[in-house]
Amino acid sequence: MTAAVPTRAERKKAETRREIIEAAFDCFAERGYHATGIADIAARLGLGHGTFYRYFENKRDIVEHVISEVIDRIMQALTAENAPDAVDTLDEYREQTRRIGDALARIMLEDPRIPKMLLLEAPGIDPAMGERVLGLMESLAAVTASYLDHGVELGYLRSDLDVDGTAHAINGMILGSMLAGARNPDPAQAKRLSEAIRRVMYDGIAARGE
Q: Which CATH superfamily is domain 8-56 in?
A: Homeodomain-like (1.10.10.60)
pLDDT tens digits for 193-206? 778 887 777 766 65
What 3-state DSSP class applies to 56? coil
Given pLDDT bands bounded at 50, 70 and 90, which one contains residue 40? very high
Q: What is the mean pLDDT of residues 168-182?
A: 83
pLDDT tens digits for 71-116? 888 888 777 788 888 899 989 988 888 888 888 888 888 888 888 8
Q: What is the mean pLDDT of residues 15-32?
A: 92
| CA distance linking residue 155 with residue 150, whole number of Å | 9
Domain ranges (residues) in the chain: 8-56, 64-205
Closest CA to 45 of 25, 70, 68, 66: 25
**For 47-56, 138-147, 162-171, 176-185, which range has the lowest pLDDT when averaged over its residues?**
176-185
- pLDDT of the residue at 115: 86
Average pLDDT taken over every residue of the chain: 86
Q: What is the mean pLDDT of residues 4-10?
A: 75
E runs forming strands in the chain = none
- pLDDT of the residue at 107: 84
Domain 64-205 has CATH 1.10.357.10: yes
Tell me how many degrees the CA angle 23-107-192 measures, rounded to the nearest 5. 135
- pLDDT above 90 coverage of the chain, percent: 36
| CA distance linking residue 122 with residue 128, whole number of Å | 10
Q: CA quadruple 117, 133, 78, 89: dihedral positive or negative? A: positive
> Residue 114: CB partners within 8 Å, gap ≥ 6?
70, 73, 74, 107, 108
- pLDDT of the residue at 13: 86
